[in-house]
């Protein structure tokens, strides 16, 4: 026998079908725009660092105090600071034939910026004729770049660089790995550990998102001045300017 369904049952079925259509449409849109899902997301958990100063009981233990960041000290490393105008805005750890440049920025309270920063870096490098590959590496999403450079003899060449980044509470830490650590990423384990073990001191004062967190020299620093590299603003401030990877004032730490 055939009977008439109650209106409430028919309405429920119709609502279910509509919900299914909406879900499928949302999935299709997400698939078409896979990059968008990694932009403007809340900061991801950081079970292995980098750390906020509130998460570490002794940030100065085994680390060099640069004010805005505490950088881990390892045996045989050289620590170089990068200057923009009168402010120290980045530190570069040189370890044998590899280096990692560290720079911290202010960020929104509830929103990560690493997704947007990757897009800016990628856009700037591709406009220069470089090649970008976005991969999920040991430190999360990163960019592996082939950046056009001018060699000492005046001919053109390519520099391999890795851009890594992590969003923290109201801050963003960016790392630029160069040298053998970029040519052979599997050999960059110690540089990656330095990045993870870095402690960021955002401070409580007001800062505009993306403003660099200014650093300071350690009290016992022994400076070896060999030229100060000015910040190049033609590309994204987060791209490292590439020129900033050159030798700046140096602090030699022997651990």
Higher-pLDDT residue of 187, 131: 131
Pick the CATH number of 51-252 from 3.40.1000, 1.10.3470, 3.40.50, 3.90.550: 3.40.1000
Task: Please report, for the chain, the start and end positions of each structural domain, with discontinuous segments joined by +.
Answer: 7-32, 51-252
* Residue 48: per-residue pLDDT: 86
Ranking 81-95, 173-187, 216-230 by mean pLDDT, the lowest is 216-230
* Residue 126: per-residue pLDDT: 95
pTM score, two decimals? 0.73
Q: In what order do the strands lie in the sheet with 51-52?
A: 51-52, 199-200, 69-72, 63-65
> Is 139:189 a contact under the CB 8 Å cutoff?
no
The torsion angle over the Cα atoms of residues 36, 41, 47 and 50, rounded to 10 degrees, is 90
Q: How confident is the model at residue 40 (pLDDT cuts 50, 70, 90)?
A: low
CA angle 209, 108, 138 (to 5 degrees): 100
* Residue 114: per-residue pLDDT: 94
- CA distance to 56, 96, 112, 171, 195, per residue, from 51 (Å): 7, 25, 15, 10, 10
CA angle 83, 255, 200 (to 5 degrees): 45
Residue 110 pLDDT exceeds 90: no
Instruction: Write the DSSP symbol of residue 34.
Output: G
Could you tell me what percent of the chain has a pLDDT over 70? 69
Residue 251 pLDDT exceeds 80: no
Query: pLDDT digit string (tens) for 129-172?
Result: 999 999 999 999 999 999 999 888 888 899 999 999 999 999 99
Query: pLDDT digit string (tens) for 43-78?
Result: 667 778 899 999 999 999 999 999 999 999 998 899
């Amino acid at each position: 026998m055939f009977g008439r369904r109650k209106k409430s049952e028919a309405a429920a079925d119709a609502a279910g079908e509509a919900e299914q259509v909406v879900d499928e449409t949302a999935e299709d849109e997400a698939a078409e725009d896979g990059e968008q899902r990694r932009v403007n997301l809340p900061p991801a958990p950081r079970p292995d660092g980098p750390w906020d100063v509130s998460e570490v009981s002794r940030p100065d233990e085994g680390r060099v105090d640069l004010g805005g960041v505490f950088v881990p000290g390892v045996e045989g490393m050289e620590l170089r600071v990068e200057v923009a105008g009168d402010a120290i805005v980045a530190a570069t750890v040189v370890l044998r034939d590899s280096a990692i440049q560290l720079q911290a920025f202010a960020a929104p309270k509830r929103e990560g910026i690493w997704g947007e920063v990757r897009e800016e870096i990628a856009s700037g490098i591709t406009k220069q004729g470089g090649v970008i590959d976005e991969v999920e590496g040991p430190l999360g999403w990163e960019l592996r770049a082939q950046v056009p450079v001018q060699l000492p003899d005046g001919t053109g060449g390519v520099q391999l660089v890795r851009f890594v980044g992590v969003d923290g509470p109201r801050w963003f830490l960016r790392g630029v790995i160069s040298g053998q650590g970029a040519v052979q990423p599997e050999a960059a384990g110690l540089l990656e550990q330095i990045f993870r073990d870095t402690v960021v001191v955002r401070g409580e004062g007001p800062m505009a998102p993306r403003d660099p967190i200014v650093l300071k020299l350690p009290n016992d620093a022994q400076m070896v001045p060999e030229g100060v590299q000015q910040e190049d603003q033609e590309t994204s401030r987060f791209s490292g300017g590439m020129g900033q990877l050159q030798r700046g004032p140096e602090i030699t730490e022997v651990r």
